[in-house]
Amino acid sequence: MSAAATSRKRFAWTRRVSATASNKAQKMHVHYRDDLRLFPNRLRRAALAVMILAWAFIPVLWDVAPFTLLSGNGISLNTLAYAGVFSIAAIGLNLLTGYTGQVSLGHSVFLAVGAYSTAYAGSVWGWPMWLWILFAPALGWLVGAAVGPFALRLRGNYLVIVTLGLVFIGEHIFRNWKSVTGGNTGTSAAGVEVKLGFIDFENLSLFGKSFGKDESYFWLIWLLVALVAWLTKNVVRTRPGRALQAVRDQDIAAEIIGIDVGITGYKTQAFAWSSAIAALAGALYAPLQLFISPGDFTLLVSIQFIAMIILGGMGTIYGSIIGALVITAMPRLIDGISADYGVPGVAAKSTDSGLVSIASLNVIIYGFLIALFLLVEHRGLAGIWVRIRNYFSTWPFSY
Amino acid sequence: MTTFLQATFDGVATGSLYALIVLGFVVIYRATGIINFAQGGALLLGGYITYNVSTSWGGNYFLGIIFSVAVCAGFSVLLQRAMLQRIFREVVGISAGLLGWAALFYNGTTHLVGLIGGVVIGVLAYLITARIEARVGDRGPSELPLFGAIMVTIGVLFIIKQVAASIWGFAELSVDDPWELSTSVVGDVVLQHSKLAAIAMAAVALGVFFVVDRYSRIGIAMRATHFDHEAAIAQGISTKIVFATAFAIAGGVAALAGSAATAGPELITPNLDFVVFLAFPAMILGGLDSPAGAVAGGLLVGWIQNLVKTYVATTPAWFPIEDLDWLGAGFERVAIFIVMIIVLMVRPYGLLGTEEVRRV
């Protein structure tokens, strides 16, 4: 067979494949609206349905067969609730760092603002839930809007260090404003009422069945995760989000094309909204944790949030959630596995001998994951997923 | 007046430590544009190695300092190779060797078997990684966003801190140094000998650095690289060697600072790396890319910190507010951050730093 014939044959085959591909699924976007749709194809809509079903049934089915793999190894519903709280905070950080390009090590401070204000308003003032759950983000927004213009006058490295200073100043305040925060020992949030109208999340009864705190908090928190994710997604796929991304990519150019980066401009607003979202997470953190102290809001916590968004994927909403799930679940999983089976060199209890304690191992793994992902795939798990998806969506021409 | 002089002396002692730490930051920043948080790790390792040499290994304190400076300089260069050039063979080899040695040791083998096994495992890991890297090929310069590199160094800091905590524990350990608690009294000011020694060590190190930076070949090469990276390469300067030197200097001065910070009455714990965070205001005040600024900023911040500490504890008579206890314990550490923020609001590039000119 001549070379020309081979080439012709291969060309024909190419055309046939691409024709079937375009008939099978309408991948071509013909309108701007198509690009903006949240659930553009059947697969995404199916994923949405699966997520809704998971949300509704996971609390009921967590102790049943396939889930026991997780629930039997230290990942309880309570862990998932924590992961939800951290997902909210990580979405907030991703809005600021992933979309606007402003690195903040001060995120734990805003989590603390939400948590302490909820503990105080809920137990000392006795505010109902609908009030404190609005009050915390509002306060967080105000603090963020007050700090933002100062912090955002600076760029890059200087911003990292100023937000680092914010963590130390914040921690000092939490340790010393004893009448509100309880000082070093912390303050109790047990008196905070988690009750919306007739829905009492401490003691929920549905369809004649009563559920405990773990189940109802799961529903509440993950509902709010969905709400925050939806709102943030709407922000980032419309005009403000485009503006934020323009600021991230090149702030002077963004200013030239008419994006306001002044004192009340997009950077400060991103800072304020990111703080508000973190404070909302803090508001849920307080009743979940029941007792909060300055040790819960250290630099390490900020670093964990950074780890979440780096691991999950900067500049993606679902990446924040995946990152939060992995980073929250991992310590418990290590804990559960090493308690049950014993990992060589790891001391499960403080009395055991071993190379590292579990707490140390967890921190080492955070550090390692941050370094590994940044050096090998700095777009995170989301980046890996996009690569896999593109590989298959253009299959068999995967290059 | 005595109070003031005492605070000033203590401030200069603290400040000279800060100056050393900040010098490390500045040297790396000048060469690569990265703030290397892992300096805290070098500081910690330096302190602990000096501790080990001076106490359990039967050496003396100065031998410990020389040894820890050498180890931390080497460690810092490895970090640079892994982080900037993404060459992991040494890091993987050494970590695998240490892990293998530890695992064998914990499973009850003798020292000799553990050591030989560790070396064999390390060499194997090195060869395998080298093979893989050769196949993957040169990845070229890092495509990381700048903050990514900073985050990597934070990750490394956390790893080193926990590794140090696992090896040496969280207990406070006392370094066996020649000064212990001895003091001299001049006028009414108490001069702690360990603090005098810290000032002297810092002065010597800084003096050597400035001479090297100004007159030696490598110093000129480092400044040229900072001034214009590509022009430096065109003149035949090896930026690889410049980067490695910068990291080695930084690691060395951090180890020296770690050793000096734990001398005398001070104790060493894994939380020593906190000193590095306290040195950030000094770095900002001096400007990120100015070694002279590092010294000035370090001394200034050390001085401010000790003045605040002294005068918050005993409020002077002329001060309008009598009791400052509500500021809380450890306010001096926050005060320097507040000073830093105020300075940054007025001068966003520090007191002696160069303003960054950006292109669109």
pLDDT, tens digit, 9 for 90 and up, residues B71-130: 999 999 988 888 777 777 888 888 888 888 877 777 777 777 888 888 888 899 888 888
Interchain proximity B328–A360, CB inside 8 Å: no
**pLDDT of B356 over the 80 cut:** no
Tell me which of B142 and B267 has the higher pLDDT: B267
Is residue B272 very low, low, confident or very high in pLDDT (cuts 50, 70, 90)?
Answer: confident
pLDDT of residue A344: 61
**pLDDT of B24 over the 80 cut:** yes
Pairing of strands B189-192, B183-186: antiparallel
Question: Rounded mean pLDDT of A45-49?
Answer: 87
> Nearest 5°: CA angle at A238, between A233 and A243?
105
Look up the pTM and report it: 0.84
Q: Which run of H or of E encompasses A347? A: strand A346-347
State the Cα–Cα distance between residues B230 and B306, nearest whole angstrom. Answer: 44
A237 reaches B (C-beta below 8 A)? no
CA torsion angle for B308, B312, B314, B319 (degrees, to 10)? 90
pLDDT of residue A24: 46
> Nearest 5°: CA angle at A124, between A118 and A130?
45
Would you say A301 and A109 are in contact if contact means Cβ atoms under 8 Å apart?
no
To which residue do tokens 């503990």 refer?
A119
Q: Which of A168, A344, A368 sits opposite B159 (nearest CB)?
A: A368
State the Cα–Cα distance between residues A352 and A338, nearest whole angstrom. Answer: 12
Closest CA to A181 of A168, A169, A172, A194: A172
pLDDT of residue A3: 52
Q: Is A205 helix (H, G, I), strand (E, B) or coil?
A: strand
Question: Rounded mean pLDDT of B281-294?
Answer: 85
pLDDT of residue A14: 45
pLDDT of residue A275: 94
pLDDT of residue A343: 65
**pLDDT of B271 over the 90 cut:** no
pLDDT of residue A68: 75
Question: Rounded mean pLDDT of A120-138?
Answer: 87
pLDDT of residue B70: 93
Interchain proximity B146–A157, CB inside 8 Å: yes
**pLDDT of A398 over the 60 cut:** no
Quick: pLDDT tens for B192-232: 888 888 899 899 999 999 999 889 998 899 888 888 888 88
Closest CA to A79 of A358, A334, A332: A332
Phi then psi for residue A188, to 5 deg, are: -90, 140
Contact list in A for residue B103 (CB cut-off 8 A) is: 344-345
Would you say B11 and B297 are in contact if contact means Cβ atoms under 8 Å apart?
no
Would you say B114 and B105 are in contact if contact means Cβ atoms under 8 Å apart?
yes
**pLDDT of A294 over the 80 cut:** yes
Give the CA distances from residue A390 to residues A27, A237, A397, in Å, rounded to whole numbers and listed in that order: 12, 21, 10
Q: Which of A157, A306, A364 sits opposite B159 (nearest CB)?
A: A364
CA torsion angle for B55, B57, B61, B63 (degrees, to 10)? -170
For residue A373, the chain B residue with the least C-alpha distance is B152
pLDDT of residue B318: 75
Q: Which of B83, B150, B328 sits opposite A175 (nearest CB)?
A: B328
Quick: pLDDT tens for A231-267: 999 998 888 888 988 888 888 888 888 888 877 788 8
pLDDT of residue A13: 46
Quick: pLDDT tens for A61-77: 877 777 777 777 778 88
Question: Rounded mean pLDDT of A82-107?
Answer: 91
pLDDT of residue A17: 46
Interchain proximity B144–A252, CB inside 8 Å: no
Q: Which of B106, B152, B284 sits opposite A355 (nearest CB)?
A: B106
Is residue B250 very low, low, confident or very high in pLDDT (cuts 50, 70, 90)?
Answer: very high
Instruction: For chain B, give the mean pLDDT.
Output: 84
Two structure tokens written together for B115: 């050591």
Q: What is the CATH number of domain A73-393?
A: 1.10.3470
Is residue A399 very low, low, confident or very high in pLDDT (cuts 50, 70, 90)?
Answer: low
Instruction: For chain A, give the mean pLDDT.
Output: 81
Is residue A88 very low, low, confident or very high in pLDDT (cuts 50, 70, 90)?
Answer: very high
Tell me which of A189 and A269 has the higher pLDDT: A269
Interchain proximity A370–B338, CB inside 8 Å: no
Mark which residues 139-178 of A lie under 8 Å from B by CB.
150, 153-158, 160-162, 164-165, 168-169, 172, 175-176
Interchain proximity A368–B154, CB inside 8 Å: no
State the Cα–Cα distance between residues A180 and A187, nearest whole angstrom. Answer: 8
Closest CA to B48 of B136, B132, B173, B146: B173
Interchain proximity A345–B159, CB inside 8 Å: no
SS3 content of chain A, % helix, strand, coil (to 5): 70, 5, 25
Percentage of chain B lying above the pLDDT 70 cut: 96
What is the 8-class DSSP label of residue A193?
A: -
State the Cα–Cα distance between residues A322 and A326, nearest whole angstrom. Answer: 6
What is the 8-class DSSP label of residue A297?
A: G
ipTM, interface predicted TM-score of the complex: 0.83
Interchain proximity A150–B345, CB inside 8 Å: yes
pLDDT of residue B144: 60
**Inter-chain contacts counted by CB atoms under 8 A, chains A and B:** 136
